[in-house]
Every structure is written in structure tokens, then in C-alpha cells.
């Protein structure tokens, strides 16, 4: 029997539909968070004070039994804010006991890192902006060997900056410019990163305040960045980025949440992330969420 005249057309239509379905499935997979080998499960939370615990946090190993430290608008010393350094970001502490807070101003050509040495003395290290460098100074993450410090900029970025850790690295001085010595080149763009912390020599966890969700398919993601090598201050490394989960967005108020700093305490294996509530609830139910790996 000769083929019916409409069979070629039906075959073409079927082929087109299959192609469209395949393309849609591919796009959906691309929009989802990348598969991750580890899962971070929420295990509890604590109220985050909007004045003193709303920007960042870090666990401190030296001296022993030190309390966790937080930053917020209420932790900025008057002597610092009156000189224009009116925003503090997510801090970190080296395993050797140096504590570093990142500062920015509303304008200018520099950013500042305020450092407390293990003995308690404070000093300030200023970095003059390079070509194309953003003014903001959102966070710092110190490498486990204490020698190098990563820092990040606001907005959609494909890099983290690497500096010698002020104070902990003998090459630094408060009287000299703190130079950027290398770069972490990310294989996937990130947006509005508010904090990062090392969980191992080449692995970081980062909190993103991304409101759009177009990069990973979710808003406000917890990100994992796996470096191709340990930062060494002389050569660039690459960073492979995956999204692990959306951070908790729970409040009695509706509106826009803001994810803030992140800390990984290697002594307990606990990850903590600050999430600030919208509207009036910033005062009442902003939280520091705790997670453990499973």
C-alpha cells in the first residue's frame, strides 16, 4: 500500500516536538542547582541582633575557648566610622589568632581591613583599588595556613581576590598598601556574595544574597567553591562553583530577606549563616541558622 500523504508531515511534527521537549528539559536542568556530593541540613537557629549580629560572624580558635565574634553597624567603633569607614562586612579569624574585619566607605579609591593581633592590639591595612575593582568590601576568608586572604565584591562576579593576610603574613605592614597578589577565577558567575569561609585547604562555602535566582535556579543560595589548588599568592587558581541549597527564608513578615555572613567552625563541623528578616521583623526574628553536613 502506498504511504499516506500526511505521514511525512506527521513525522516532521513528531521530530520537532521531540526536539523541543529535549531542549526544554536541558534548559530546566541547567537552571537547577548543580548536583552536590554533600548536603547541609538545618539543625537549629539563634536570634541575630540587628545592630551587632547582622553583617557577619566567625568562630575564633586562638585564644582557646574564645567566644564567636559578630559584626554589625553597632560594632563599628566611632573612631572608625567618623573617618568614613561606615560599613563592615563578614569577618574571619586565622588559625593563628589574627582577626580581620573588612570595611568600606561610601566613596573613594580604597577599602580597609581592620586587624586584631593575637595579643589584642588593633591595626588598619588599606588597599588601594585596582583598575575596574568595585569599592565594596563584603567579606574575607583566610586560608587554613593563615598566609592568604580571599575577599569579594558585590554584584555579579566571576572572580575572588587574593591578598596576603594582613598581620598574619610577614610581607604586610599597616604603613604600606595591601596589594592584591592573585585571583580566584570562577567557572560560573556568582551574585551578591555576602560571606565565604574555608572548610578545607581548597574548599569554601559561601552565602549569596542573589535575589533573582537566574544563575542557579534558586534565590539566596548556599554555594560551594572548589579551588584547583591552594592559593599561594603568586599564581591564579580556578574555582568550580555549585549551588547546594536555598538558605532559610522564614519570618512573621513578608518581603525581601537578606542573607549575610557565613562561618564554618572546623572544631564542631558546624556551619552558621545569618539571614536578616524583612521589614519590622528585622528586629524580632532575624536568625543565625546552624547546619551540619550529612
Q: What is the pLDDT of residues 209-240, one digit of tens each?
A: 999 999 999 999 999 999 999 999 999 999 99
Return left, alpha or beta for 237; rule: phi > 0 is left, psi -120 to 50 is alpha, else beta.
beta
pLDDT beneath 70, residues of the chain: 1-37
pTM of the full predicted structure? Answer: 0.87
Distances, alpha carbon 170 to alpha carbons 37, 147, 173, in Å? 37, 9, 8
Residue entry with cell 542547582? 33
Q: What confidence score (pLDDT) does residue 25 get?
A: 38
User: CA 38, 245, 187, 105 torsion: positive or negative?
Assistant: negative
Give the three-state DSSP class for 21. Answer: helix
User: CA 201, 170, 132, 206 torsion: positive or negative?
Assistant: positive
CB 249 within 8 A of CB 277: no
CB 265 within 8 A of CB 59: yes
Q: What confidence score (pLDDT) does residue 267 get?
A: 93
Distances, alpha carbon 20 to alpha carbons 7, 23, 24, 76, 94, in Å? 20, 5, 6, 55, 52
CB 167 within 8 A of CB 147: no
- CATH entry 2.120.10 includes domain 34-293: yes
CA 224 from chain centre, in angstroms, equals 9
The Cα–Cα gap between 260 and 247 comes to 11
The Cα–Cα gap between 144 and 131 comes to 29
Q: What confidence score (pLDDT) does residue 37 get?
A: 55
Q: What confidence score (pLDDT) does residue 62 get?
A: 86
Q: What confidence score (pLDDT) does residue 64 get?
A: 83
Amino acid at each position: 500500500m502506498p504511504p499516506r500523504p500526511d505521514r511525512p508531515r506527521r513525522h516532521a511534527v513528531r521530530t520537532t516536538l521531540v526536539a523541543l521537549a529535549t531542549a526544554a528539559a536541558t534548559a530546566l536542568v541547567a537552571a537547577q542547582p548543580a548536583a552536590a556530593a554533600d548536603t547541609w541540613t538545618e539543625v537549629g537557629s539563634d536570634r541575630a541582633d540587628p545592630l551587632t549580629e547582622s553583617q557577619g560572624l566567625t568562630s575564633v580558635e586562638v585564644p582557646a575557648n574564645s567566644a564567636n565574634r559578630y559584626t554589625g553597624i553597632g560594632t563599628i567603633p566611632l573612631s572608625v566610622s567618623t573617618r568614613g569607614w561606615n560599613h563592615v562586612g563578614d569577618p574571619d579569624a586565622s588559625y593563628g589568632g589574627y582577626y580581620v574585619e573588612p570595611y568600606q566607605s561610601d566613596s573613594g579609591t580604597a577599602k580597609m581591613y581592620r586587624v586584631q593581633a593575637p595579643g589584642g592590639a588593633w591595626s588598619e591595612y588599606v588597599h588601594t583599588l585596582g583598575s575596574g575593582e568595585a569599592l565594596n568590601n563584603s567579606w574575607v576568608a583566610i586560608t587554613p595556613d593563615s598566609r592568604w586572604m580571599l575577599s569579594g565584591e558585590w554584584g555579579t562576579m566571576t572572580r575572588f581576590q587574593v591578598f596576603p593576610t594582613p598581620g598574619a603574613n610577614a610581607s604586610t605592614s599597616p604603613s604600606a598598601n595591601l596589594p592584591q597578589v592573585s585571583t580566584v577565577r570562577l567557572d560560573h558567575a556568582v551574585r551578591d556574595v555576602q560571606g565565604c569561609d574555608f572548610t578545607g585547604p581548597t574548599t569554601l562555602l559561601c552565602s549569596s544574597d542573589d535575589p533573582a535566582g537566574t544563575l542557579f535556579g534558586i534565590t539566596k543560595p548556599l554555594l560551594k567553591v572548589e579551588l584547583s589548588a591552594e592559593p599561594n599568592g603568586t599564581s591564579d587558581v580556578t574555582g568550580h562553583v555549585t549551588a547546594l541549597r536555598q538558605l532559610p527564608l522564614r519570618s512573621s513578615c513578608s518581603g525581601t530577606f537578606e542573607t549575610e555572613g557565613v562561618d564554618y567552625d572546623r572544631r564542631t563541623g558546624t556551619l552558621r549563616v545569618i539571614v536578616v528578616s524583612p521589614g519590622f521583623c528585622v528586629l524580632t526574628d532575624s536568625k543565625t541558622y546552624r547546619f551540619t553536613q550529612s
